[in-house]
Chain A
Amino acid sequence: MAPDVPGAAERAPRPRRNITTAFVVSRIAVLAVAAAILLYAVPPLVAAESWLGLGVLGAATALIGYLYLTPRLVPAKYLVPGTVFLIAFQVVPVVYTVTTAFTNFGDGHRGSKQDAVVAIETGSVRQAPGSPEYALTAALRDGELVFLLVDPDTKQAGLGTAEGLEPLAGARVGVTGKVLSAPGLTVLKAPEAAARAKEISALSVPTPGGAIKANGLSRAVEGRAALVYDAACDCVRGEGGPWTADESQGYFVNAAGDHLAQGWQVGVGLDNFARVLTNPTISGYFAGVFGWNVVFALASVAGTFALGMSVALALHHPRMRGTKIYRIAIVLPYAMPAFAMLMVWRDMFNRDFGLINQLFGLDVDWLGEPLTARLAVILVNLWLGFPYMFLVTTGALQAIPRELTEAASIDGATPWKGFRKVTLPLLLVALTPLLISSFAFNFNNFNAIALTTDGGPFPAENPQVGATDLLITYTFRLAFGAGGAQFGFAAAVSVFIFAIVAIISATAFRRTRKQEEVYA
């Protein structure tokens, strides 16, 4: 264990601090930055009345200001800058994702129960039979938007607000049947009304048994909700109902077992996890995708390492000429933008005008058949990854003393044996950690699949899972795909991926440590 230097210095009596210019300047800078952040960040929070956010911001600024002004807490001074970002943009989202895995959050289950009730009621509003179609004029009363409504049959003018409909006295009605002016009210001209179209369509004037809503900017109709929430029975009454709230599913269900489209977010416990493991369709696909995922990651690591190492060994010879030029040529793929080259490869494999078919005079639908598509993505990944392996093996080879292989050949070992028994083990000691992280990286190599095959080809009977899908692209499709967002379920799969990668890496690292002890 190394001596505890900074700590010891902290405990030792310190009569006087050296006040240097850098010291003063840095403290002033800290205060200035803190003040600037506060000045910038506070007004919007106040305007949005987000008192919790304001509290967090104030506390964080105060803590950080204190941290950099006090001479103590030295480690924290270095850790906090990165940690702030880490917490805000990585830890919080990850924790939130994990908690989402225990809910049914997704399409149809986005908001709270109240949101669902509002959506169901407004969604079921139809024009009430026999209700008049009012002539609508939007107006302002002390800055608040109101509706001036004229019943076309009775020519009676009314004032509609968010509170209700009341008679309007002294209104002047024009030939079109719309109110032109009224005492105490500012009538909005057409362009002004158009500018407030959003507010106008949002305003709903409650009436007994329904509500009056604008239909465009100059008409308004009274609508009646076909479905109405009744708090007494915690159910929705109306068409096809009663629909009773089922808190375990987050849906309103009726006696026939149907449910309303709009539900709300509820905790479902371990259901999402259980679904991955027990639902026969899903677990079948999950196992298939997982198997291919492992193959892909292993093939990528093994292939890139084998090719990179071979060429590094080929160039690693004292009498080899032109190594510099070879090296630049081999490293070039690494320097090309990976995202663009992935798309170039995709187009080179194109059946109709791709380069591969053209060059070899073939007519193979490379990315359209499961087997060739899998070979193709592994080949593309080989091209992208082997220069890196070439570079690292070259570095590691230079660290292996030439005497070792020479000694082996003097002892009568064939070159192959010398490589197997001397060079390779020494290389592996140095490179195993890199191979493991390369495996973890390729296990979740989203771009390599998403930018080439996008998971395809898809079998006809199941457009959700393609032949080259990795767990991560599969999950991404679950969360954002066309089949409707299933965030809760996708989060559960993410947790599985995390567990798998963590377990594999942990075991591998443990084995490396043992290996190092052997060779040390």
Chain B
Amino acid sequence: MKMALRHAFALAVCAFALFPIVFVLSAAINPLGTLASTDLLPTGFGLGNFADLFGSDVYPFGRWFFNSVFIALTASFASLLLSMFAAYAFSRMRFAGRRAGLLALLLIQMFPQFLAIVTIFMIFTRVTELYPAFGFDTVWGLLLLYLGGALGVNTWLMKGFLDTIPKELDEAATVDGATHAQIFWRVIMPLVTPILAVTALLAFIGTMSEFLMASVFLRDPESKTLAVGMFGMIAGDNRNANFGMFAAGTLLTAIPTVGVFLWLQKYIVSGLTAGAVKG
């Protein structure tokens, strides 16, 4: 009896979790491809929306997909490495300004970065004049911008992980003649790899969904990310007509994330307990 209640509750929550996804699925395979003609359960089956998505002249979806995955992969990998470096210094070394540095990071992180977007816009106007390769409408410029937030977000988290690794390991390595760089790469990094994987996944999801900075930064259709491009896809008058394409794009966007998610599932619970937010 009690078990039945538990199952009933879990099923209800699953229904709540899944019905928007079912709706997206049904919209994506809806042959008519409009919002108005889409029901919760599929009424027909056709891959026309997917074909439209890749055949479209107006919306270079493949290009957006590449841009997004490229930016998200590079930014999450690089920002993780940068914050690992900093966390290693904060966790393992004692130096003047250590406490002040940690506190400063915490404070800077609390300032909503994109409220500085006016200033960022002016800085990058200048950068675009000097170095077009890193200016507006380039993935590299956006990447640099994302790296600016790298330290603030993850350093505290990483420092927490590193603090739990016994110092005796480093000391043993030092006694054996290892340099600080060798300790970092050969001792510390292998120990935190599982947790790194989870944090990288979170950073990946976050960057894939980042909308505001990207929308200010990327205006050329070819340089857009999925978030910016797909927002434009159902903006204004196209909201009803392009909904099927949009839903198809949403499903495709989820594929890499879901795949990595299932793959990392066993690490995710322990990794998440240590911090990081979404939604």
Contact = CB atoms under 8 A, between A and B. Distances in A.
Most buried by B among A93, A94, A332, A352: A93
B6 A75 contact: no
B6 A337 contact: no
Given A335-B258, A336-B250, A396 B226 contact: no
Contacts of B38: 355
B111 A434 contact: no
Interface stretch (A84-92, A238-246, A272-280): A84-92
A332 B21 contact: yes
Interface stretch (B43-51, B55-63, B189-197, B269-277): B269-277
Contacts of A40: 131
Contacts of A383: 16-17, 20
B93 A7 contact: yes
A337 B40 contact: no
A7 B180 CA distance: 11
Contacts of A85: 82, 144, 147-148, 150-151
A97 B118 contact: yes
Contacts of A430: 273
Most buried by B among A75, A340, A438: A340
B245 to A, nearest CB: 12
Contacts of B155: 82
A392 B118 contact: no
A5 B175 CA distance: 11
A2 B150 CA distance: 27
Most buried by B among A328, A344, A433: A344
Interface residues of A, number: 114
B161 interface: no
Given A74-B93, A332-B21, A337-B208, A388 B272 contact: yes
Interface in A350-394: 350, 352-353, 355, 358-359, 381, 383-388, 391-392, 394
A113 B31 CA distance: 60
Main secondary structure of the interface of A (DSSP, over half): helix
A312 to B, nearest CB: 10
Contacts of B70: none
B130 A45 contact: yes
B3 interface: yes
Given A82-B86, A387-B17, A48 B129 contact: yes
A97 B108 CA distance: 13
Given A5-B174, A332-B258, A395-B269, A96 B279 contact: no
Contact of A440 (B110, B114, B212): B110
Contact of B23 (A5, A41, A344, A438): A344
B13 A307 contact: yes
A4 to B, nearest CB: 5
Contact of B261 (A75, A329, A335): A335
B167 A2 contact: yes
Contact of A100 (B86, B119, B145): B119
Contacts of B258: 332, 335
Given A91-B108, A340-B253, A447-B211, A75 B93 contact: yes
B74 interface: no
A350 B269 CA distance: 36
Contacts, number: 288
A9 B257 CA distance: 44
A320 B6 CA distance: 8
Contacts of B6: 314-315, 317, 320
B165 interface: no
B113 interface: yes
A335 B260 CA distance: 9
Given A307-B13, A385-B278, A88 B148 contact: yes
Contacts of A505: 110
A337 B277 contact: no
A86 B151 contact: yes
Interface in A422-468: 430-431, 433-434, 437-438, 440-441, 444, 446-447, 450-451
Given A78-B85, A90-B152, A314 B9 contact: yes
Given A74-B93, A96-B119, A339-B231, A86 B108 contact: yes
B23 A437 contact: no
Interface string B235-262: 0000110010011011001100110011
Contact of B85 (A81, A314, A333, A386): A81
Contacts of B212: 446-447, 450
A341 to B, nearest CB: 6
B151 A341 contact: no
Nearest to B95: A75
Interface in B115-130: 115-120, 123, 129-130
Nearest to B144: A89
Given A89-B120, A335-B258, A388-B277, A340 B246 contact: yes
B250 A392 contact: no
A326 interface: yes
A359 B40 contact: yes
Interface in B126-162: 129-131, 144-145, 147-152, 155
Contacts of B253: 337, 340
A269 to B, nearest CB: 20
A359 B23 CA distance: 12
A488 B243 CA distance: 39
B108 to A, nearest CB: 6
B145 to A, nearest CB: 5
Given A334-B278, A344-B20, A479 B167 contact: no
A487 B250 CA distance: 35
B73 interface: no
Given A53-B130, A336-B257, 6 more contacts: A5-B174, A81-B82, A90-B152, A93-B116, A330-B13, A344-B24
Interface of A: 2-7, 9, 18, 22-23, 26, 40-41, 44-45, 48, 50, 53, 74-76, 78-79, 81-83, 85-86, 88-94, 96-97, 100, 304, 307, 310-311, 314-315, 317, 319-320, 322, 326, 328-341, 343-345, 347-348, 350, 352-353, 355, 358-359, 381, 383-388, 391-392, 394-396, 398-399, 430-431, 433-434, 437-438, 440-441, 444, 446-447, 450-451, 472, 475-476, 479, 487, 490-491, 494, 497-498, 501-502, 505
11 contacts: A7-B93, A45-B130, A79-B101, A94-B108, A320-B3, A329-B18, A334-B205, A335-B261, A339-B231, A348-B23, A490-B118
